């Protein structure tokens, strides 16, 4: 088991019974009474990248304060229930550093407790590892995006990526895959890079979160040829057919649904047919300067709206969608405590 910690920062509190309080971890200080910081018992919590929720006795009142010391009246405090969503694919590293914490706080207030940030280059992958190191609500996935591939990856490049991917903050290989159309020589380079990064995932026992634009026949053939099913993963920003979805599932990949679910009728039809046990959710959040209104940029906080839409399509409760898709992400990305000890 990972080492224990003495105290925590948190953003939300939910009473889940008469004896246990559950806290999500991020940017706010939890205190008991007026002055005492909660001390976490050695047998109740491990470090934030090993356990996704903190469990503490709730026999006393707990107060939550921002880092500035101001009370947090806007933090949700719910009895018998807690929203916990995982955004399995974002690009938060592309935002200015002074915006990231605010984006994450808005996410947590909307019930999105954890985000996976995907690399696109060696430099971004390293930056994401650094971000995850200093922020317990962020998990790193590293890789080279197909549109960044100009030639087949060199051994030196793959060695550099391997070193980054071997750090404990990394939970997946991403964003990797194929992006067509492209000139034949670039397609071949993308295929080489995709295959090499799948093999890296196999070597390090890391799931693959892949990108496929206009390239599903080649993408699925490569996943099968490289035995990617041994680690499985996630089909990022899925917009394919039901037949393609089931091929992905057969190869051990979950179907990740994003904002297009809100308006693409064909995708809604696919989502209605796929069992919830094969679905996870994402926002693919990244800066969108083409949208003049900053408030309309996609952020992880919008994941709850995607969950609500999926619940309507499935004619089930939002809580069931949250519970199942979160459990799927925890299992596939090996984020449960037992998987990380």
Confidence of residue 301 (pLDDT cuts 50, 70, 90): very high
Confidence of residue 6 (pLDDT cuts 50, 70, 90): very low
- Better-scored residue on pLDDT, 64 or 198: 198
- Better-scored residue on pLDDT, 6 or 154: 154
Give the integer Cα–Cα distance in Å for 187 and 195: 12
Q: What is the percent of the chain where pLDDT is above 90? A: 64
Selection from 9-23, 36-50, 78-92, 117-131 with the highest mean pLDDT? 117-131
- Chain segment 312-329, per-residue pLDDT in tens: 999 999 989 999 999 999
The separation between CA 325 and the C-alpha centre of its own chain, rounded to angstroms, equals 11
pLDDT at position 289 is: 80
Predicted TM-score of the model (pTM): 0.78
pLDDT at position 1 is: 26
Same domain? For 267 and 301 the reply is: yes
Position 3 in a domain? no
CATH code for the domain of 262? 3.20.20.140
Q: What's the mean per-residue pLDDT of the chain? A: 79
Position 4 in a domain? no
Number of domains in the chain: 2
Same domain? For 171 and 274 the reply is: yes
Position 210 in a domain? yes
Same domain? For 200 and 132 the reply is: yes
Same domain? For 40 and 111 the reply is: no
Same domain? For 74 and 89 the reply is: no
Same domain? For 241 and 331 the reply is: yes
Position 2 in a domain? no
Same domain? For 204 and 308 the reply is: yes
Position 190 in a domain? yes
Non-local (6+) Cβ contacts of 223 within 8 A are 198, 208, 210, 229, 251, 253
Q: What is the percent of the chain where pLDDT is above 70? A: 74
| DSSP per position, 27-51 | EEEEEETTTEEPPPPTTT---TTT-
pLDDT at position 287 is: 86
Same domain? For 102 and 236 the reply is: yes
Domain boundary among 79, 109, 139: 79
Tell me which DSSP letter residue 236 carries: T
Same domain? For 52 and 134 the reply is: no
Domain that holds residue 60: 9-79
Domain boundary among 56, 79, 102: 79
User: In this structure, are strands 112-118 and 77-79 parallel, antiparallel, or unpaired?
Assistant: unpaired
Position 1 in a domain? no
- Chain segment 118-151, per-residue pLDDT in tens: 999 999 999 999 999 988 889 999 999 999 999 9
Tell me which DSSP letter residue 71 carries: B
Per the CB < 8 A criterion, the answer to whether 103 and 300 are in contact is yes
Same domain? For 332 and 285 the reply is: yes
Position 309 in a domain? yes
Position 302 in a domain? yes
- Better-scored residue on pLDDT, 182 or 26: 182
Domain boundary among 20, 48, 79: 79
Give the integer Cα–Cα distance in Å for 28 and 67: 6
Quick one: the chain helix, strand, coil %, rounded to 5? Answer: 40, 25, 35
């Amino acid at each position: 088991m990972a080492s224990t910690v003495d105290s925590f920062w948190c953003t939300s509190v939910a009473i889940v019974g008469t004896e246990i309080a559950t806290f999500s971890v991020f940017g706010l200080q939890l205190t008991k009474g007026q002055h005492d910081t909660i001390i976490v018992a050695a047998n109740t919590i491990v470090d934030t990248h090993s356990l996704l929720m903190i469990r503490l006795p709730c026999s006393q009142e707990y107060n939550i304060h921002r880092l500035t010391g101001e009370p947090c009246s806007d933090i949700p405090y719910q009895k018998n229930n807690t929203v916990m969503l995982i955004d399995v694919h974002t690009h938060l590293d592309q935002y200015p550093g002074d915006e990231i914490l605010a984006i994450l706080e808005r996410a947590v207030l909307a019930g999105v407790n954890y985000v996976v940030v995907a690399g696109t280059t060696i430099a971004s992958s390293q930056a994401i590892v650094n971000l995850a190191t200093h922020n317990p609500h962020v998990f790193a996935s590293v890789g080279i995006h197909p549109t960044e591939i100009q030639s087949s990856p060199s051994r030196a490049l793959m060695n550099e990526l391997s070193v980054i991917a071997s750090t404990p903050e990394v939970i997946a290989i991403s964003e990797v895959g194929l992006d067509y159309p492209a000139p034949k020589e670039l397609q071949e380079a993308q295929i080489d890079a995709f295959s090499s990064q799948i093999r890296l995932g196999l070597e390090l026992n890391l799931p693959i979160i892949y990108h496929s634009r206009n390239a599903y026949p080649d993408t699925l053939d490569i996943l099968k040829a490289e035995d990617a099913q041994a680690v499985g993963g996630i089909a990022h920003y899925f917009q394919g057919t039901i037949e393609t979805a089931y091929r992905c599932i057969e190869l051990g990949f979950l179907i990740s649904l994003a904002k297009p679910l809100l308006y693409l009728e064909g995708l809604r039809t696919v989502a209605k047919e796929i069992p919830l046990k094969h679905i996870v959710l994402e926002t693919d959040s990244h800066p969108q300067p083409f949208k003049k209104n900053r408030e309309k940029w996609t952020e992880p906080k919008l994941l709850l709206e995607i969950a609500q839409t999926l619940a309507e399509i499935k004619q089930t409760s939002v809580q069931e969608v949250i519970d199942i898709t979160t459990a799927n992400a925890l299992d596939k990305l090996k984020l449960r405590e037992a998987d990380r000890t």
